[in-house]
Amino acid sequence: MSAANESRNGGNTPRGMPRERPADGPESSRITHAMEDYLKAIYAMQARGGEATTQRLAEELNISGPSVTNMAKRLHELGLIEHEPYRGMRLTPAGARVALEVVRHHRLLELYLTETLGFGWDEVHAEAERLEHHISDELAARIDRALGYPTHDPHGDPIPSADGMIAAVSPALLSDVGAGERVAVTRVSDRDPDKLRFLGEMGVRPGAEIAVVERFPFDGPLRIRIGGAEHLIGPGVAAMVNVAPPEEPETSE
Ligand SMILES: [Zn+2]
């Protein structure tokens, strides 16, 4: 129970698993993969403008409420989160640094796997989920350089810089676009491989332009036109797609 008192001077680093954390204190060496996933989940909820509550985190991470509470306590002790009763958890600056580093690794890995190793965009999320905890900052920096310092991953998610800066994602969703409107895809959620394949086959990828031709009532599908072809897309799948106003004026087909 006195582990907190033992790692004060960092003299006895555990062997075999070097941690490549920024030198932001003796606590940084005690951040586990589970903690990283937890911080990343809070980061994602905050980025979407939501509150990171115990219940939401339990659902997101597929663990029990009491486990979430235990982990929150440990992360709070490490100075990585603040936890206000009934108001959810928030990352401290130190917690945000850890989360963004893991996110950076994840997104660089996804791009590396698609660009260099020929993986499909529906295949890379699961690989990156595993690898993100293991690569060093130096390897991430080399991947970054090899890819020409990319700004976005294959799904359109912004890649944080090494010093923790990250671009915003347009919050507008395809599921909310009205009939007759034209939008550009900025990002597609990477969570569901089957839906990613479905969207990819229609050409719904970052940079693609979509016209919403028709919306069927009562949560019915949207009829969209993309690259001259029309498709029906359900509102649930359309909600995986972030959009923004198109940059260029409409071109005739
Ligand atoms: Zn991913």
Residue 68 CA to ligand 1 centre (angstroms):
22
Which CATH topology does 174-244 take? SH3 type barrels. (2.30.30)
pLDDT digits (tens, 9 = 90+) for 5-62: 333 333 333 443 444 444 444 445 689 999 999 999 999 999 888 889 999 999 999 9
Residue 135 is which amino acid?
A: I
Residue 197 CA to ligand 1 centre (angstroms):
14
The length of the chain, given as a count of residues:
253
Q: Which residues surround ligand 1, an ion (CB under 5 A)?
A: 125, 190
User: What's CA 130's distance to the chain center, in Å?
Assistant: 14
* Domain coordinates in residue numbering, the chain: 174-244
Rounded to an integer, what distance in angstroms lies between the CA atom of residue 249 and that of residue 221?
A: 26
Rounded to an integer, what distance in angstroms lies between the CA atom of residue 185 and that of residue 209?
A: 6
Taking the model in full, what pTM does it have?
A: 0.83
Rounded to an integer, what distance in angstroms lies between the CA atom of residue 205 and that of residue 210?
A: 10
Contact present, 140 and 159 (Cβ < 8 Å): no
Residue 41 CA to ligand 1 centre (angstroms):
12
Residue 248 is which amino acid?
A: E
CA distances to 169, 179, 229, 234 from 213, in Å: 25, 5, 11, 14
- Can you read off the two tokens belonging to residue 242? 């972030």
Q: Which residues contact 59 (CB under 8 A, 6 or more apart)?
A: none
pLDDT digits (tens, 9 = 90+) for 121-157: 999 999 999 999 999 999 999 999 999 999 999 999 9
